[in-house]
Amino acid sequence: MFTWTFIIIEVVSAVGLVFLVLLHSGRGGGISDLMGGSIGAVASGSTVVERNLDRITVAAALVFTFATLTLDLRLQ
């Protein structure tokens, strides 16, 4: 029961994480952005909505990470 609960949490958080990443606005500026050329502009969102979306995405990533680690320890 415990394992199935974390499997469900991991699947839901993975799908949610993909959806949240796709919601982010693109800031493509070429290869310089790909290599971290404008990390300051990318790291801080310009609007409240973008900052909140960033926070929700980080929270979903943390849930996914902890569910993955818990499943790894549980299934060993």
Would residue 32 count as lying in a domain? no
Would residue 36 count as lying in a domain? no
Would residue 40 count as lying in a domain? no
The answer to whether 74 and 3 have CB atoms below 8 angstroms apart is: yes
Would residue 34 count as lying in a domain? no
Q: Give the model's confidence band at 41: pLDDT under 50 very low, under 70 low, under 90 confident, else very high.
A: low
**pLDDT given for residue 55 in this prediction:** 93
Q: Which residue has the higher pLDDT, 33 or 14?
A: 14
Would residue 61 count as lying in a domain? yes
Contacts 24+ apart (CB under 8 A), 24-30: 24/50, 24/53, 24/54, 24/57, 25/50
Would residue 67 count as lying in a domain? yes
Q: How many CB atoms lie within 10 A of CB 34?
A: 9
Would residue 5 count as lying in a domain? no
Would residue 55 count as lying in a domain? yes
Domain ranges, residue 63:
47-76
Into how many domains does the chain fold?
1
